[in-house]
Amino acid sequence: MLRTLVARMAAVSAALAALLGPAAPAFAQGVAPSAAPAEWVRYAETVTGTISGWLSQEEEAATRFRAYLRETAAAADQPPAALEIKLWIAPDGRVEKIGFTPFVDEQANGDLRAAIVGRMLAAPPVGMLQPLRLQVDMKSEAIGEGARAGGD
């Protein structure tokens, strides 16, 4: 039950981060959390879960990306911080491109793109500002061995 509550709080936090970007006081998108339409918040929560699922799948790019994150963690018992990802989503829901702070390893950058770009999400709400800014929590079992597969 506590784990469910923590997961829900993380999803809400990620959704708000998606609307505000990494520098919350700047309100990069021009939308304060209290002013963001509920539909945008729900969409951001759903997309965050979907992206986490894609990154935990047992496909080549996602598996290699998780291995890179494990190898570059600050300490063996300290998983990496959340990934801050910007998504540009077509009206039909296709992820057109992503933005993120690049990793030192070009293969990891390519693997992150390969795991996300071109995949289908639900269509974004009409009028939703883009890019959609997400914080994807990689602190969970998502970077561990035998990760659970997510939906597409």
* pLDDT for residue 11 is more than 90: no
Mean pLDDT of 27-31: 48
Domain residue spans of the chain:
2-143
Question: Is 25 a residue whose pLDDT tops 50?
Answer: no
pLDDT at 21: 42
Confidence tier at 128 by pLDDT (50, 70, 90):
very high
Residue 146: CB atoms within 10 Å: 7
Least confident of 84-88, 117-121, 130-134, 144-148: 144-148
Summarised one tens digit per residue, pLDDT across range 54-70 is: 999 999 999 999 999 88
3-state secondary structure of 89: strand
**What is the pLDDT, as a whole number, of residue 75?**
67
DSSP letters spanning 111-126: HHHHHHTT-B-PPPPT
* Mean local confidence (pLDDT), 47-53: 94
What is d(CA 54, CA 95) in angstroms, rounded to the nearest whole number? 12
pLDDT: is 92 or 5 the higher one? 92
- pTM across the whole model: 0.71
pLDDT of residue 35: 78
Q: What span, in angstroms and rounded, lies between the C-alpha atoms of 59 and 53?
A: 11
The CA distances from residue 125 to 47, 84, 91, in Å, are 12, 21, 8
Closest Cα partner for 51 from 147, 141, 134, 144?
134
Range 74-80 average pLDDT: 66
